[in-house]
Amino acid sequence: MLPTFVIFLREGVEASMIIAILLAYLARSGHREHFRDVYLGVGAALVLAFGGGAAAFLLIHSYEGSRVQAIFETGTYLLACGVLTCMTFWMHSHARTLSRELRERTDRAMGRGARFSLALVSFQAVGREGLETVVFTLAIFFAASGSQGSFAGSVPAAALGAALGTMGALVVAFAIYRLGHRINLGRFFQVVGSLLMLFAAGLLADAVENLQQLGWLPFLLHPLWNTSAQLSEQGAVGDVLHTFLGYAAQPTPLQLLAYLVYVLAAVGGFFWIAGRRTPPRPTPAATAG
């Protein structure tokens, strides 16, 4: 439940934040009549995301337990890890300028067929986040099914987390619409982005495990330890830690190496960039001059 809550909260906040900025700008510029065009684009994007997610779920569920599922599962892990990493860095670098960029896109849309252009802007924003969420949710299902033993068995808890995350995102979106610049979105995406980097590291470790089981990485196979008796992946706590942080009761050296290298590179780079973007405090000499 926790992984889908964080994913849907983060993706929902980004998508709804974009829509809230669009609506707020249209309202302030006296173009409320175009709200319906934005809603049309949002609706089309949601249909695409839910339809694609349902089709992917049913397709992979029909191959449950087979080598085909293992291969698709591995590809989903790697894709989700890569998209999560790129998405987190992109949003962190654009959080401060996103509102201005959207206003500029809206102005251009108003000048060349407002109805279609505004619908397209909202469709692209929500559709991108929706498809990303589908990939991440499938990865969560796969990770949870590895500890629970059933792909479909992970659905109820994941659905609850998704519902709570979506509601939380709508609350944040309403606050953005009402309060605007007074919300520190940069800090929000920094905190949530850091959590999702750890989730991506776990997905990478799961992908390495699958590649070793498929025989495509036939080295460093012997488990380093076995903590199943102390913290089983089938237990409630172990399942959450496995799905969200990549905990493995019997990790191989290659799994652990991939996890640590990713965490040091991605999370370290994330905070290094955040530190570079923080303006330095003026020195007393500079202030006096």
pLDDT in tens, the chain (289 residues): 677 787 888 788 778 777 877 887 788 777 777 788 888 988 898 898 888 888 887 887 777 777 888 888 899 889 988 888 887 777 766 666 666 777 777 777 666 666 677 788 888 878 888 888 888 888 877 777 655 555 555 667 777 878 888 888 878 777 766 665 555 666 666 777 777 788 888 889 999 999 999 999 999 999 999 998 888 887 778 877 887 778 888 999 999 999 999 988 887 776 676 666 555 455 444 444 4
Q: How many CB atoms lie within 10 A of CB 37?
A: 22
Output the pLDDT for position 211: 94
Q: Taking a C-beta distance cutoff of 8 angstroms, is the pair 226, 250 a contact?
A: yes
Contact between 200 and 85 (Cβ < 8 Å): yes
Kindly report each contact of residues 224-227 with a partner whose C-beta sits within 8 Å and lies 24 or more positions away, as own/partner.
224/250, 224/251, 224/252, 224/253, 224/256, 225/250, 225/251, 226/250
- The reported pLDDT for the residue numbered 289 is 44
- What does the DSSP 8-state code read for residue 183? S
For 95-154, where are the alpha helices, taking DSSP H only?
A: 98-110, 114-148
**Measuring CA to CA, how many Å separate 210 from each of 123, 214, 255?**
35, 6, 10
Torsion 201-236-169-8 (CA) sign: positive
DSSP state of 65: T
Between CA 158 and CA 143 the distance in angstroms is: 11
Q: How far apart are CA 177 and CA 285, in angstroms?
A: 42
